[in-house]
Amino acid sequence: MRAILVVNPQATSTTAGGRDVLAHALASQVKLDVVETDYRGHAMAVARSAARDGIDLVVAHGGDGTVNEVVNGLLADADGDPAKVGDVPMLGVVPGGSANVFARALGIAHDPVEATHQLLNAIENDRSRKVGLGIADGHWFTFNAGLGWDADVVGRVAKRRGKQTTAGLYLRAAVASHLRPPLGRPPLTVRIPGEEPTEVLTAFVSNTDPWSYLGDRPVHLNPDSSFDTGLGLFALSGLGLPTVFKHVRQALLTKSDQRGRRLLRHDDLPMIRIDAAEPVNFQVDGDLVGQRKRVEFFSVPGALTVIV
C-alpha cells in the first residue's frame, strides 16, 4: 500500500516528535512519503496529486482545516459535481487540532498517540467505512457549514491567527458577532424540497452529529444527523437573547430534538438552498470561505472511504 502523510506543523497539537513517531509507525506497514504543509492550500494540492497518481491512502495529521483541505484535494477532479465522484485514495486522520470534529464524530481518539494506534490497527485489519459528505458552492465539507451568525464567528476567530482557538475565544467571538454582526442581519430564505420557502436570520447545516464541540462539550443541533444520512438544517428566524439562550442551552445540555417557535429544523435532507437579501458570511468546516447571496447545499452519500 502506498501512502502519503500530510502534516500541518502549525496545528494546535502537532509536534515534530509526534510527527516522527507517526511517520515511523506508518512506514512499518505502508510505503510512505511525508509532506509538511507550509502554505494555505498545500494539503489540498498534495491530496489532489495523490488522487491523480493512484496513491492508496492519504493520512491527514492536523486540525479540521487540514482534513478539509485533504478531502477537497482528493475529490478535486469531481469539479464539485457529486455525479463525478469516483475511486479516490482512502483517508486516514490523526487529530492535531483543537476541535477535531470530524475525527471525534468517527470515534477517533482525540490524543494523537492513541489515534495512531487506532489507525495502524485499522490498516492491519483492513477496516474502513464509507462516509457521506456535503458540498456547497463547490466546497466539500465533512461536518458542518453555514450562513450568518456561525460564519461571522468563524471570521472573527480567523482574524486572531496565532492565538490558540480555545472554547473561550469562540464564546467571546460568538457574543461579539451577535451584538455587532459584521455584515448586519439580512434575512435568509431557506428552500428545501417539498416545503414552502421560510425566512430566517441564520442557518446551520450539519453533515453529522455533533455539529461541533465547545471544548470537550459536544454541541447538538441535529442529533439524528450522521455520515450515513442526508444533511441536517437548524435555522433561527429570531436572534433575541431569550431565543439564543434557550437553544444554546438545549444544544449543550441534551441530545434530544430541539423545539422552539423561532426554530426551523429538518433532518436527512438531500439538498438545501439558501438565498440572502445581501451578501452574508459563508463557512465550511470552520473555515470562512467568503460572502455569498446564494448557496446550494447537497448531500453526497458514500463519497469517501475512511480508515477507522
77 and 196, same domain (yes or no): no
Domain that holds residue 109: 2-126
48 and 113, same domain (yes or no): yes
CATH code of 10's domain: 3.40.50.10330
% pLDDT > 70, the chain: 99
211 and 101, same domain (yes or no): no
- Check pLDDT > 90 for residue 160: no
Average of pLDDT values for 103-114? Answer: 94
Average of pLDDT values for 128-139? Answer: 96
8 and 40, same domain (yes or no): yes
Q: Does residue 148 lie within any of the structural domains?
A: yes
Q: Does residue 137 lie within any of the structural domains?
A: no
Q: Give Cα separations from 179 to 92, 151, 153 (angstroms).
A: 40, 14, 11
Q: Residue 35, SS3? A: strand
Q: Does residue 136 lie within any of the structural domains?
A: no
Among 91, 126, 161, residue at a domain's last position: 126
Q: Does residue 296 lie within any of the structural domains?
A: yes
Q: How many CB atoms lie within 10 A of CB 272?
A: 25
**What integer pLDDT is reported at residue 232 of this predicted model?**
98
- The single-letter code of the amino acid at 73 is G
- Check pLDDT > 80 for residue 25: yes
Among 72, 92, 126, residue at a domain's last position: 126
User: What's the total number of domains in the chain?
Assistant: 2
d(CA 231, CA 270): 6
118 and 49, same domain (yes or no): yes
- Check pLDDT > 70 for residue 162: no
CATH code of 229's domain: 2.60.200.40
101 and 159, same domain (yes or no): no
Among 76, 92, 126, residue at a domain's last position: 126
**What integer pLDDT is reported at residue 161 of this predicted model?**
62
Average pLDDT, the chain: 93
- What is the distance, to the nearest Å, from the Cα of residue 144 to the centroid of all Cα atoms in its chain? 5
> Which residues lie closer than 8 Å to 56 by C-beta, 6 or more apart?
1, 2, 3, 30, 89, 90
pLDDT tens across 199-209, in order?
999 999 999 99
